[in-house]
């Protein structure tokens, strides 16, 4: 049975009121489906990643839902120091305070707009693992890198940096998210074959780096995933789920992606 991961990265969107509405609409709709999914032999893990300022609203809204249907709560970034003079940063204990179980790290917007280098991201991956949260590690090539035939070099460099010094047990706990930069927010998703090719390559490399050929590795695809392309992408052998940006902001479209798998 293939377990599917459906993660919604809200980026710098969704205030408290919008967050509460999302939980009301999405949670209410999904209620009951876990049993339905189990009956169909499917399992699904749903998580949402609100901005820091809406974590409290998300945590509060989830208390009104049937426990079995509450999405996991995650954050979009974190700093690795536990506390201190780091103006503007948020620590792992602070995220735990809101019940966060996951943290997105290395998103291309953090890498390109905010200049986060591989080494800083690797330090965050280590700290998040040490704290027993799940790092959702993002990586992927730009359009220029793809056109210059550099996709596999870039993906390899980013994965090697993140996994440097990590044990096989740690490597297995990371959720990997291949997000080609040219597909993010452009409406132009990678084709299912393009995504499959890089996700399959990633799994092989991660297993090699961890020195464990049989290790389970979870790799998601992200980049313009929408209700109309989700079913095909999620059916690919090496793709374990989707990290959705724009289409996760409305309960309606996120739910349609959910149903694309549930009814597949
Ligand atoms: P879009 O789905 O809006 O392209 O964003 C993808 C993404 O960056 C998720 O992290």
Ligand 1 centroid to 158 CA: how many Å?
18
Is the pLDDT score of 260 beyond 90? no
Q: What is the DSSP string of 186-244?
A: SS-PPPHHHHHHHHHHHHHHHHHHHT-TT---EEEEESS--HHHHHHHHTSTT--EEEE
Task: Among 106, 195, 222, 256, say which to mutate for ligand 1: greatest number of ligand atoms within 8 Å of CB.
Answer: 222
pTM over 0.75: yes
Atom 1 (ligand 1): residue with closest C-alpha?
245
Ligand 1 centroid to 163 CA: how many Å?
23
- Per-domain residue ranges for the chain? 4-262
Question: Is CATH 3.20.20.70 the right assignment for the domain spanning 4-262?
Answer: yes
pLDDT number for residue 197: 98
pLDDT number for residue 252: 93
Tokens for 254, please give them. 């996120």
Q: What is the mean pLDDT of residues 210-230?
A: 95
At which residue do the structure tokens 């992606």 appear?
257
At which residue do the structure tokens 């549930």 appear?
262
pLDDT digits (tens, 9 = 90+) for 118-148: 999 999 999 999 999 999 999 999 999 999 9
Q: Give the CA distances from residue 171 to residues 50, 156, 162, 217, 230, in Å, rounded to whole numbers and listed in that order.
A: 25, 15, 9, 8, 27
pLDDT number for residue 262: 73
pLDDT digits (tens, 9 = 90+) for 155-208: 999 999 999 999 999 999 999 999 999 999 999 999 999 999 999 999 999 999
Mean pLDDT of the chain: 93
Which listed residue (59, 107, 109, 141) is catalytic? 107
The ligand 1 atom nearest the CA atom of 187:
4
Instruction: Encode burial over 197-222: b for 16+ CB neighbours within 10 A, e otherwise.
Output: bbbebbbebbbebbeeeeeebbbbbb
Atom 2 (ligand 1): residue with closest C-alpha?
245
pLDDT number for residue 223: 98
């Amino acid at each position: 049975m293939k377990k599917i991961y459906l993660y919604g990265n809200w980026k710098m969107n969704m205030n408290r009121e919008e967050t509460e509405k999302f939980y009301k609409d999405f949670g209410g709709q999904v209620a009951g489906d876990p049993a339905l999914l189990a009956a169909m032999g499917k399992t699904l893990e749903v998580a949402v990643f609100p901005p820091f300022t809406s974590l409290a609203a998300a945590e509060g809204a989830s208390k009104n839902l049937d426990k079995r249907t509450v999405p996991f709560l995650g954050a979009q970034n974190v700093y690795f120091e536990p506390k201190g003079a780091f103006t503007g940063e948020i620590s792992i204990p602070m995220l735990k305070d809101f019940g966060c179980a996951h943290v997105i790290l290395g998103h291309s917007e953090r890498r390109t707009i905010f200049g986060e280098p591989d080494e800083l991201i690797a330090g965050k991956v280590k700290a998040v693992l040490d704290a027993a949260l799940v790092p959702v590690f993002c990586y992927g090539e730009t359009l220029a890198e793809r056109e210059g035939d550099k996709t596999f070099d870039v993906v390899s460099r980013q994965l090697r940096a993140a996994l440097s010094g990590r044990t096989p047990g740690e490597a297995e706990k990371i959720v990997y998210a291949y997000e080609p930069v040219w597909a993010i927010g452009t409406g132009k998703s990678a084709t299912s074959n393009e995504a499959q090719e890089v996700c399959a390559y990633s799994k092989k490399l991660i297993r090699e780096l961890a020195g464990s050929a049989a290790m389970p590795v979870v790799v998601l695809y992200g980049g313009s995933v929408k209700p109309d392309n989700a079913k095909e992408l999620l059916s690919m052998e090496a793709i374990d789920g989707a990290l959705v940006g724009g289409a996760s902001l409305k309960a309606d479209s996120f739910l349609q992606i959910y149903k694309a798998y549930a009814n597949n």
